[in-house]
Amino acid sequence: MTEVLLQELSNADVDWLIATGRQQQISAGTILLEPRESPEAVHVLLDGALTLQVPHSDADCADDSLQAGSASAGNGGADEIARLSRGEMVGETLLFNARPIAAVVRAVENSIILSIPRSQIVQKLQQDIGFSAHFYRAIALILSERLRHMLEMPGQLRLVAEQPVKDALYVFGELRDSDLDWLTAVGHLEKLAPRQVLIQAGRPVDALHIILGGLLSVAVVEGDFNPLTVCFECVEKNASLQKVISYKSKGEMSGTISFLDFRPSPVTVRAVDESLVLSIPRSQLAMKFQQDLGFASRFYRVLAIQLLEILQTAIGLLGCPQQMYGQHQDMDDDVEYDDELNLDALHQVAQGAARFNWMLKRLGVV
């Protein structure tokens, strides 16, 4: 990840981070974030290594459940799902008003981190469009690599249960009308028959797909992932060796994991029933990113939000399930549910839904 951060940030970006951030050394065993703890800063790992772990039991997922004494010794009742190396970021959820990750972040060796306080980095992202485009792209690349690592070793992943999640149309509130106008102009509609493959594991992703209607499944290869054998085997044989781990529906994007890094997809996306997608070619988007920094900033932010949502789901499958409110259960005022929306988020969902419906009309879908 060292290369990602240094390749994506400009000298001016690096100078600002140095001037604003605070370097600190943390010793091996130090817990940087507890499960579901709201971060107060974005941390960049400059040297050393961190581990991302999920607790063994649901009880351990609650805040403060991993006591400092037990957590610093061994695994502290947690399984490692990712090893974070130099250049990785922690605490990025604060930039997207997202729920904190349900995992513990711990130093596995003496490390150096650069901490940028919430207020300063949020203000910088709002005021400096060039910085935000570079920084959101770097975050999206880091998240996609973290997800790829989890999905290419899927033995621990269980089938995701059908559960309520925050409205996917939330992300459309991040875009402007002019952004959607451009997407409708360059994208093309694709109708998918039931069981038709949209993205094949092991193959490159040539376009980003926005789901306009229907339902698509996301499946991973069981066992070791070899992109060459997966790519050159027949689709029917691949299907028998894959396990569905999640579903995508209206308003979500497909192809985000492999869109930025040009590497083969670790997942197969297939239509469950008749579906409709808007496909935007990678080449067209690449040109737009270079010509319009404002669009690039907003779109990379949208990609990061959707990647973060997938990561949260994967962490839930590996260890800590999401805390969802059931329709027939009593609501606990002391619990913040993962599918709970505040007033600001509800306003953004409504705004995103309006923009999404406007796009559907422009495309002649409704």
158-323+334-362 shares the fold of 2-127 = yes
Angle between helix 177-186 and helix 282-291 axes, rounded to 10 deg: 140
Domain ranges of the chain: 2-127, 158-323+334-362
CATH of domain 2-127: 2.60.120.10
32: phi > 0 → left, psi -120 to 50 → alpha, else beta; which?
A: alpha
Is residue 53 within 8 A of residue 78, CB to CB? The reply is yes
Nearest CA-CA partner of 95 in 122, 127, 66: 122
Global pTM value: 0.83
Per-residue pLDDT of the chain (366 residues; tens, 9 = 90+): 668 888 999 999 999 999 999 999 999 999 999 988 899 999 999 999 999 988 765 555 554 433 333 333 344 566 888 899 999 999 999 998 888 888 899 999 999 999 999 999 999 999 999 999 999 999 999 999 888 887 776 555 555 444 434 456 777 888 999 999 999 999 999 999 999 999 988 888 999 999 999 999 998 887 777 777 777 776 666 666 788 888 888 888 888 888 888 788 888 999 999 999 999 999 999 999 999 999 999 999 999 988 888 888 777 776 655 444 444 445 445 444 444 555 566 777 788 888 888 899 999 987
CATH of domain 158-323+334-362: 2.60.120.10
